[in-house]
Amino acid sequence: MSGSVTPRAALERLTALVPYVRVSVRDPDGHDGDDWIPGSKLVRDPEFLYSMMRSTMDAREIERDDIGLSLIVQGYAFRIASVAIGAWLVSGGVLDVAPENVSIQFGRNRPNAVLLDRAEWIAAPSDEPADTLAALHLHLVDGHMAAIIDTSRQATRSTRVGARMMWSNVATSCASSFGALMDPLPDERATIRRRADEFFACGRPELSAGGDIVPIGPKWAWQRNACCLYYLDPNGSKCGDCSLHTADERNDRYAALLVQVSS
């Protein structure tokens, strides 16, 4: 399908459907501003990632490295995954979101927007869904998300960052990327849920172990398998999908969601 849809057209459709997926392509005349951070620096350089984390987390009065790194990686993962997965869902193509092709902008002390140097498709063996899905995993998860997780675990000063927590952050960001298109594309909910199931079923074990899809009527909920520590942010709380909720609290949440989708 990507052969009949240009990358820019896919991005335009994605951002029209989900305005909070903020992504643009670099202006050759240099009118993009100077506040963009190279993705390659964040993903490859532990010292740079740590310094960015401290500059943003100091404003949020967070002291522990594991909390700060968890939240910055989770925010970054969602921004990148929402572009890659969103473009794949609306076009069938695998967009180039390699660290060297992206820059990130921060707003309110969080990753806020993505800038692509080039809008290009990644070549897959064919346009068959299985081949494009494999290419998406290789490019987004293995080539990008795994790299920033490894870097974050080298960037700590006082508290070790758990790989299980970080992979749950990435899995949650990927799940949120699928969920973002559920409401704007109600007629395609079953297809989106099926593709989400396929995405996690064929992923690397660390990603698949990051959480679970819980069917809720025509939609679904996500359940994390490790807490992101946001509740330890001075202004934070437990997320709706937090692994620390009791079974009763989870069931109450699912029941409330079922009422919403049935009304």
Q: What per-residue confidence (pLDDT) applies to 3?
A: 53
Domains and CATH numbers, the chain: 2-209 (1.10.510)
pLDDT along the chain (263 residues), means of 10: 80 97 89 87 95 86 87 96 98 96 93 96 87 95 96 80 94 97 94 95 94 90 95 90 95 91 74
Phi first, then psi: give them for residue 116, nearest 5 degrees: -95, 135
Task: Give the C-alpha distances (Å, rounded to integers) separating 72 from 18, 110, 241.
Answer: 22, 7, 18
Q: Which helix (H) or strand (E) holds 103?
A: strand 102-107
How far is the C-alpha of 71 from the C-alpha of 21, rounded, in Å? Answer: 18
**At how many degrees (to 10) do helices 129-136 and 65-91 cross?**
160
Contact residues for 16 (Cβ-Cβ < 8 A; gap 6+): none
What Cα–Cα distance (Å) separates residue 126 from each residue in 92, 130, 132, 195, 216?
A: 11, 9, 7, 17, 33
Instruction: Look at residues 23, 140, 121 and name the one whose alpha carbon lies nearest to residue 79.
Output: 23
pLDDT at 196: 96
Please name the residues in contact with 117: beta carbons below 8 A apart, sequence gap of 6 or more. 25, 26, 100, 101, 102, 103
* Structure tokens that stand for 42 in this block: 């964040």
Q: Which residues of 155-177 are buried (b: 16+ CB within 10 A; e: fewer)?
A: bbeeeebeeebbbbbbbbbbbbb
SS3 202: coil
**Under the phi-then-psi rule, with left for phi > 0, alpha for psi from -120 to 50, and beta for the rest, what region is 246?**
beta
CA distance 156 to 134: 32
Give the number of C-alpha atoms closer than 13 A to the C-alpha of residue 100, restricted to the C-beta side: 2
